[in-house]
Amino acid sequence: MLWTMVFTYPLQGVFQSVCARIGRVTGRGLAANIKTAFPPWVLLSVVALVLFANTLNVSSDVAAMGEAGALLLPGQRHVLTIGFAVLTLGLLIFVPYHRYVWFLKWLTLSLFAYVAVAFIVHVPWGEVAIRTFWPQFKVDKDSLTLIVAVFGTTISPYLFFWQASEEVEEITTHPSEHALKDAPGEAREELRRIGWDTYIGMGYSNLIAFFVILATAVTLNVHGITNIQTASQAAIALKPIAGDLASLLFALGIVGTGLLAIPTLAGSAAYALSEAMGWREGLELKFSEARGFYIVIGVAILGGVAVSYSPIDPIKALFWSAVVNGVVAVPLMAIIMLLVGRKSLMGVFVATPWQRWGGWAATVVMAIAAVLMFATMA
């Protein structure tokens, strides 16, 4: 699966830049733009799909964090799950976002835990290089489902909404910044920034994901451990293979990624529903100023606690939520590409030729993967 990180990088980079462009040019998020450009049933369908996929993903993340935290405090899984959920919700509600985002940026350093694991154990780097660009896999149900899952975590619906909405947040929180339709003089600098921001960010994301896959392959898979159901099982299985440090790094990595992902997942769901309903939205607003927006975030996060009390395996839930994201992304991507090409919406700032070709290519690739997966399941 290492090849997927190289393959998806240009596709996700161009698509995130498209979403950022829509938000920056119009000064509105994706749902608000879909609301003005498409019939109500399209908007309702998109929002429903995003809410379903994101809530499933949040639930899985919260439960996995509790599992990983229990490695450090044995027997406290449920307590830790509730604690992580309440902590995340409290930070989003009570800490101004311009301060909270600073914390999130530094928290991304925790992702290097996965890189560290790969350097603790033996890695056949020559074979890694070959298989990254010349992969070997069977075209069957399991492989295609895994490919859709990987695509669903890299080119994912929640990232589309988040990217556009954060551009809107920048406009609303900085009086000197404006929607590009209203201030075309700012376009050159802002569009250049969006390009650098998205491609560097997606590059960092795929680099970390590359090491997640690699660390798993050279530790668990090499030793025949392929049926991991919980985060704690994965970390415990690592101990005799890579030592206590690798297990600890794995646990910290799970908690760190959860603290990063949950605000984005819950926040993008709240943006989507709030824009569709015409509610005030924004992480810089106080709870009293955007009750509906924060209630959606609260329901998404606290609802996730229920998974830790259910018989659902958190790791399998994470996997299948990724598959759902990979399928849900396809119709949403087509709608986004239609949006960014509309002059009535984007004015002179419609997508560039590279964005049009790259965006539609990403959409087609995702669609083909999903269709082939369903075909092998029949």
Q: Tens of pLDDT along 251-284?
A: 777 777 788 888 888 889 999 999 999 999 888 8
CA dihedral 73, 77, 81, 83 (to 10 degrees): -40
- Residue predicted with more confidence, 278 or 306: 278
pLDDT for 245 = 67
Task: Check residue 231 and give its pLDDT.
Answer: 64
Residue 188 three-state SS = helix
Binning pLDDT at 50, 70 and 90, where does residue 246 land? low
pLDDT in tens, 341-362: 999 999 999 999 999 999 999 9
According to the model, what pLDDT value does residue 163 have? 93
Q: Count how many residues are written for the chain.
A: 378
Tell me the range of 62-66, 160-164, 229-233 where mean pLDDT is highest: 160-164
Residue 150: name the closest of 9, 355, 331, 313 by CA: 9
365 Cα distance to chain centroid: 18
Of 93, 78, 89, 54, nearest in space to 305 by CA? 78
> Which CATH homologous superfamily contains domain 2-377?
Amino acid/polyamine transporter I (1.20.1740.10)
Residue 303 has pLDDT above 80, yes or no: no
Asked if residue 227 has pLDDT above 80, the reply is no
How far is Cα 378 from Cα 7, in angstroms, rounded to an integer?
27
Which string of b and e fits 232-242 if b means at least 16 CB within 10 Å?
Answer: bbbbebbeebb
Q: Would the CA dihedral through 152, 158, 161, 164 be positive or negative?
A: negative
Q: Over the stretch 132-180, which tens digit does the pLDDT of each residue have?
A: 999 887 888 999 999 999 999 899 998 999 999 999 988 988 888 899 9
**In the numeric block, which tokens belong to residue 210?**
């590359």
Overall average pLDDT of the 312-321 stretch: 78
Using alpha carbons, select from 312, 360, 18, 356 the residue that is nearest to residue 164.
18
**Does this model's pTM top 0.85?**
yes
Q: Which amino acid is it at 127?
A: E
Give the pLDDT band of residue 308 (cuts 50, 70, 90).
low
Q: Judge whether residue 19 has pLDDT over 90.
A: yes
Which of 44-53, 66-75, 197-206 has the lowest average pLDDT?
66-75
Instruction: State yes or no: pLDDT of 3 exceeds 70.
Output: yes
**Residue 217 — pLDDT band, cuts 50, 70, 90?**
confident
Residue 327 to residue 15: CA distance in whole angstroms? 16
